[in-house]
A and B are shown apart, each in its own frame.
Chain A
Amino acid sequence: MRGGSATGGLFAAAVLLAVWQGVVWATGAAPFILPSPLRVAQALWTSRALIAEHGVVTLAEVLAGLLLGAILGAGTAIQLALSPIARRLLLPALVFMQAVPVFALAPILTLWLGYGIGSKILMTVLIIYFPVTSAFYDGLRRTDPALLDLSAVMGGTRWSELWRLRVPAALPDLASGLRLAAVYAPIGAVIGEWVGASKGLGYLMLLANGRAKTDLMFAALFVLALGAVALYVLLGIAARRLERWSRTGR
């Protein structure tokens, strides 16, 4: 993130905190309805070990889901780009899959894969699979046709054309798909945890909510949001690097 937008972000956060505190003062809301920012900060500090323990689980789910989803999505995009049969069979299935609200699958995934992290990882994979596939496939499809002509005249094979020309040219598109995936991935993991889990920030939030420990709930939410933003920023940096590389080679 550049200096300007970082400053802007801090400013926006400060305004939000001020409004929040203002609402607490003005309405006199009970702490279990709306805790003040200060109480949340205290909960964050006193429960730091607990939050960290659950945060690590959610982080593992998100990272594993991202990795698997990226591999599956990129693989599918390559299949689609290479094979007309795959396009005819897979594209309608993909669009259909995208139309199904993946959240609705969470209970059945938990039923099948149990309360462990497997069902959460699968949930994350399902959520990011489509954006990764479609972004990368779009990039692969947009290869300059003149480059493909050049490859044909040079006697390039379909595979070498793919690896030497089309994939490198489409890497920035893959990266922007992954940047989008970074936004969705934590949602997938948390939904999975809500449906049934014994660990993770989503589980902790649900637990805290049920026991009217709203300050802990907010503290867990804060950590979750922080992690999601960090992931987004990191993948954004990677995307910009790739973008520059594909234009200038550095």
Chain B
Amino acid sequence: MPPGLRLTGRLDLAPADGPALPPLSLTAPAGRWTCLLGPSGVGKSTILRLLAGLPTGVGFEGEAGGDDRRPLAGRVAWMAQSDLLLPWLSVTENVMLGARLRRQRPDRARAREMIEAVGLGPHAAKTPSELSGGMRQRAALARLLMEDRPVALLDEPFGALDVRTRAEMQALAFRVLAGRTVLLVTHDAHEAARLGHRILLLTEAGLAEVEPPEGEPIRDPAGPAVLAAQARLTRRLLEPDA
């Protein structure tokens, strides 16, 4: 069973930007998708970085880690908006990067499996410059799967993709990450409505839980439940104090 996530404490973003955020208490249930929705610059990525154990450059007093009270180091995988593929390596070598960085012997057979799983089988020997934006995000997803960590932290990974590619990537990621604890940071209300078992809204007013649309994710991207929730969430993003 993967761990859930919890973060409690006070986040001290640049004080010049107005009032400080009220203290945060964020949890993400084990084995589910939690979407953290909010406008840019409100601290979503900082929360993700705190959970990943990365330096943030802002003050934070509190705890961030697994709900089993153990640190998450070695149990998280990370995916960012930019694919972070090394341009001089093939897709296969990029997928095996983690093992190389840890000075382990990479498992080629497993790398091939992961590449097949994201539908890049015929492109395994290509370099990133030969792939489209969507294919590059697929390769980044295969690299994340290759790490085989129980927790996946996704920082707006589909933000730069067109509507159809984004919908495909959401479905693919949801399928291949099943059973893992996923925290997805996004500024896209539609994405949160489609993917979240749980939806958290982070605005200048603080963190609030929002009722997800009915039905289990992954939901129909053009269905009435998702679109109604998108409208509701958009309203709250526009008027955080209402």
Partner-B contacts on A (CB < 8 A): 144, 146-147, 149-157, 160-161, 164-165, 168-169, 245-250
Report, as a range, how many residues of chain B touch the other chain: 20 to 34
CA distance A144 to B102 in the complex (A): 19
CB-CB < 8 A to B77: which residues of A? Answer: 153-154
B83-91, B109-117, B224-232 - interface stretch: B83-91
Stretch of B8-16, B18-26, B93-101 contacting A (4+ beta carbons < 8 Å): B93-101
**Judging by beta carbons under 8 Å apart, are B102 and A155 in contact?**
yes
User: A161 and B101 in contact (CB under 8 A), knowing A153-B77, A249-B129, A250-B127?
Assistant: yes
Known: A146-B80, A245-B88, A249-B90. A154 touches B97 (CB 8 A): yes
Partner of B86, one of A146, A160, A168, A250: A168
**A89 to B87 Cα, complex, angstroms:** 34
Tell whether, in the assembled complex, residue B102 and residue A156 are in contact, meaning their CB atoms are under 8 Å apart.
yes
* Contact status A249-B89, CB under 8 Å: yes
A154 close to B102 (CB less than 8 A): yes
Contact at A164–B88, with CB atoms within 8 Å? no
Contact of B82 among A146, A165, A248 (CB under 8 A): A146
Q: How far is the CA of A146 from the CA of B54 in the complex (A)?
A: 10
Nearest opposing residue in chain A for B127, CB measure: A249
Name which residue of chain A comes closest to B81, CB basis: A146
Q: State the main secondary structure of chain A at its contact with B.
A: helix
The residue on B at minimum CB distance from A165 is B86
Contact: B101 with A154, CB < 8 Å?
yes
Please determine whether A150 and B102 come into contact, CB atoms closer than 8 angstroms: no
- Bound CA span A160–B103, Å: 7
> Which residues of the partner chain A approach B103 to less than 8 Å between Cβ atoms?
157, 160
Contacts of B73 in A (CB 8 A): 155
Assess whether B60 is interfacial by the CB under 8 Å rule: no
> Hey, which chain B residues are within 8 Å of A144, CB to CB?
84
Q: If the complex has contacts A155-B74, A160-B101, A161-B101, are A150 and B129 also in contact, measured as CB distance less than 8 A?
A: no
Inter-chain contact B101/A168, CB cutoff 8 Å:
no
User: Within 8 Å CB of B78, what residues of A?
Assistant: 149-150, 153-154
How far, in Å, is A143 (CB) from chain B's closest CB? 11
Chain A CB within 8 A of B147 CB: yes
Structural contact, A154 and B54, CB atoms closer than 8 A: no
Which chain A residue lies CB-closest to B72? A153
Given contact pairs A149-B80, A153-B53, A249-B90, a sample of 4 additional A-B residue pairs in the complex whose CB atoms are under 8 Å apart: A147-B84, A154-B97, A156-B102, A250-B127
Q: Are A151 and B101 in contact (CB under 8 A)?
A: yes
Q: How far is the CB of A204 from chain B (nearest CB, A)?
A: 44
A118 to B82 alpha-carbon distance, docked (Å): 50
